[in-house]
Structure 1
């Protein structure tokens, strides 16, 4: 017999192969307490079995290349079993068969389906997308106003979530500064789309109420829920003592000052309208239009300056140390999100979703007059309470989740940051758009709406100025929101129509 047949190096190859398979089986079945060795493991168990799993896999990389193909075929069957063609095609969210095909007639449909699949599985709230075709069908076939309004109302909620998902996918690839600008632009896109449709239809009262309702919803409802849930879930420390959640005091003071400015921009037109009692109605409206349009230009300029202040020169004030620490300790799921869509795919989702939202919003706005004619609900309540729920549903959930995790700076950014966007960007932009299309959109809100907004800003500023929050403060903000909603619900349908 040839002596090379008994060479020890020729005997080690099958022994290592069998042992490696045993190690992989133990790792797959997750029995860490199972002993690593029997008779064969005593010689090599100290190097492989007693080490970490990382050491085990590093030993695989160092093996003879002739063995690695066999091992690599063996590993995926245990750790990542083949999902099957139909499961891979319909459910698998990481890839789709045919996306890398050289045939363009296979590759492009597969990529489009992959983008659709990733978007549909981005949130559980997308189950409500079934209302989209129902709402459009009801609007096209002129169903009764309550049905058209309700179906399109529920259809816009998941569309808003999809729009938020596409915006985050784009912003995560553009860097901090440009990504923040994209979020600022598309953060309230749903409210903007619905308001543009209503403004073109001449529903100025609905537009004003929806803008005010979005601000109140973020200041009182969202921020109140964040304080309440965050305070309950983080009520006590390890010693059993009551604790408060903290956030950047500088950010709270800056945003509070901007909201006070927005409140003044609403109070001044109402005060001027009250002073001009002796003038006729046409002259009063002309004066209010001049004041509103000039104020809108000032507010838009201040918003651009605020973005430059927050994203460029003083961004450290808006990135407190507590936020970075919590992101690293908790895991930073929101901050370390890995984009699932490319920029072109996310942009396509953004455009398609915007078009569908505009169609649903058009049907919903057209049904408002017939719905109000029933005498069961007012335009002000629709714009103040219902429409903000449509546009802010996804942001509400996000803010509450991060507040429960103790990331109050992120929750504050979602709640108060969105209010600033509405007050200093969206509302003035609608005034300028109304000027361009011939609609008399002004900053002169009804007196009761102005008082409710001013009181909400005052209470919120007092609540956040110390940089701390607890569940009692959250309950206070929620209580004020319920009182305001109840006041508008109890008011007669035509009581708030006049200025």
Structure 2
């Protein structure tokens, strides 16, 4: 009896031996439907009935109705907020089904990319409505959620299931270093602002919106130049990172790339061999998964637009700090699918995938999404900058610092997960206080 190799990374060469498929062959393979592939009816049945969270899809039409009938702002916000939760899960499901044919590295990249689809949609909707503070806080909140909450829960779950989890040090440190670079690019505009304001007669009071005058105009002009130039450089660095990850040094990010990798303690990281039982069979045909992905993204864009439109009135009527909504609430909803996937991968001891989802998603937001939105704002006449509030900049810096310290040894355990979760809880507690974030800062808009 002959067996069929179901591993998507391998094919048969002319000599009958297995060979590794190229990325082009993997992507082209998405559009081929082999025998036994699930039909479109079975695919959509799995897609719509495969999770109990899909019950919350009833809030999608409620979000549309409440917005068009101009119901109370709290209802409009709540309905749109809850509607995004199952939509984020569906985005994750469709992405996961597509990623089964792409291999681990591309799977992590695809999960990170479409896992950030909700954040990107919400940010673009807020940018076009000139809600620049919502753009900044929602994206920063997504970075913090991935680095602290999602990665912390993954380390905690993986540590409870296994005494110690190990991952490739070089790949993790490269990702963490790029995350540090992106963090520094947010610190520099804040340093520039402080140097300009403190140097003029003792500085400005950030709680007074009518004080800045000519100094604010000069500061804002300088911040725009710094932000736009930095954004272009970050986009170039991110493209280089993709080439590094997918082409030139793909073996560092692939769980099955090399037999061993030397760690700092001199011990080798053994290659993991997966049996056929570990190979997950797709429940959706690739084409139907792609169509579902596009449709859910479209519906999510409308729900996100309604959500952003109700934020201003909701914060005023119910006295909810706007930064708390951006930093905590929105990322909890939009990162739900990534959270589940990352924790599940950590429990299965697939830490390369976990690091790729959590840190990779944060890198994508900080080095690609935020710079891209600055450029889009430049084109559309919305002056979005890389200058964040001082509190937010410090929080991001210490979060990146803690993650760097924890991943540098290539090992994780449940105690490290608890550290990350504890820091996230401190940040959430701080964001609940209205006086921490003034509603308006000079040059922040």
Superposition TM-score tier, normalisation by shorter sequence: 0.7 to 0.9
Question: SS of the residue aligned with 1:337?
Answer: coil
Whole-angstrom CA distance in 2 between matches of 1:485 and 1:329: 42
Rounded Cα–Cα distance in structure 2 between residues aligned with 1:244 and 1:179: 24
Distance 1:354 1:170 in 2: 15
The Cα offsets for residues 23-76 of structure 1, whole Å up to 9 and x where unpaired, read as xxxxxxxxxxxxxxxxxxxxxxxxxxxxxxx9xxxxxxxxxxxxxxxxxxxxxx
Hey, what does 2:417 align to over in structure 1? 474
TM-score (norm 2): 0.80
Cα 1:179/1:375, change in 2 over 3 Å: closer
Which residue of 202, 216, 223 corresponds with 1:288?
Answer: 223
The aligned residue for residue 254 of structure 2 is 319
Three-state SS of the structure 2 residue aligned to 1:466 is: coil
Distance in 2 separating the partners of 1:327 and 1:150: 46
Structure 1 residue 471: Cα displacement: 1.3
**1:339 alignment partner in structure 2:** 282
Which of 323, 328, 338 is equivalent to 2:274? 328
Q: Does 1:262 align with 2:182?
A: yes
Q: Displacement of 1:309 after TM fit?
A: 0.4
* Residue equivalent to 1:198: 126
Q: What residue number does 2:360 align with?
A: 417
CA change 1:461–1:293 in 2 (3 A) is same
Per-residue CA distance 1:474-493 (angstroms, 9 max, x = gap): 11111111001101112338
Q: Is 1:262–1:423's contact at 8 Å kept on the other side of the alignment?
A: yes
1:121–1:342 CA distance, 2 compared to 1 (3 A):
same
Change (3 A) 1:264 1:301: same
**Is the alpha carbon distance of 1:183 and 1:472 closer, same or farther for their aligned partners in structure 2, counting shifts above 3 Å?**
closer
Separation in structure 2 between the aligned mates of residue 492 and residue 475 of structure 1, nearest angstrom: 28
| Cα 1:470–1:171 shift into 2, 3 Å | closer
1:429 aligns with 2:372: yes
**Alpha-carbon spacing, 1:172–1:166, altered in 2? closer, same or farther (3 Å):** same
SS in 2 for 1:143: coil
Contact 2:154 2:343 in 1 (8 A): yes
1:379 aligned onto 2:322: yes
Give, in whole Å, the separation in 1 of the partners of 2:54 and 2:293. 15
Question: Cα 1:271–1:493, aligned 2, differ >3 Å: closer, same or farther?
Answer: closer
**Displacement of 1:342:** 3.4
Pairwise mapping of residues 211-222 of structure 1 onto structure 2 (< 5 A)?
Answer: 211-222=139-150
CA distance in 1: counterparts of 2:103 and 2:70, whole angstroms: 46
State how far apart, in whole Å, the 1-side matches of 2:297 and 2:80 are.
Answer: 14
User: Which residue of 143, 164, 169 corresponds with 1:249?
Assistant: 169
1:328 alignment partner, SS class: coil
Q: Partner residue of 1:403?
A: 346
Q: Return the alpha-carbon distance in structure 1 between the equivalents of residues 68 and 217 of structure 2.
A: 39
The corresponding residue for 2:6 is none
- Tell me what 1:492 maps to: 435
Cα shift readout 1:184-218 (whole Å, capped 9, x = no counterpart): 54231110001111111111001100111011001
Q: Distance in 2 between matches of 1:390 and 1:433?
A: 25
Q: Are the structure 2 counterparts of residues 189 and 365 from structure 1 closer, same or farther at C-alpha, using a change threshold of 3 Å?
A: same
The CA RMSD over aligned residues, in Å, is 2.4
How far apart, in 2, do the equivalents of 1:496 and 1:465 lie?
38
Distance across 2 between alignment mates of 1:406 and 1:183? 18
Aligned residues: 382
Q: Is contact 2:43-2:285 (8 Å) kept?
A: no
Matches of 1:408 and 1:371 in 2, distance apart?
40
CA contact (8 A) 1:227 1:403 kept: yes
> What is the match of residue 276 of structure 1?
196
- Equivalent position SS for 1:445: coil
Question: Alpha carbons of 1:141 and 1:171: their partners in 2 closer, same or farther (altered >3 Å)?
Answer: same
- Determine which structure has more spread, i.e. the larger CA radius of gyration: 1
TM-score scaled by length of structure 1: 0.72
1:135 and 1:148 in contact (8 A); partners too:
yes
C-alpha spacing 1:320/1:150, structure 2 compared with 1 (3 Å): same
C-alpha deviation, 1:331, in angstroms: 3.7
Give the structure 2 partner of residue 208 of structure 1. 136
Residue 349 of structure 1, CA deviation: 1.1
Pairwise CA distance, 1:326: 4.7
Give 1:149-188 correspondences, 5 Å limit: 149-173=77-101, 182-183=110-111, 185-188=113-116
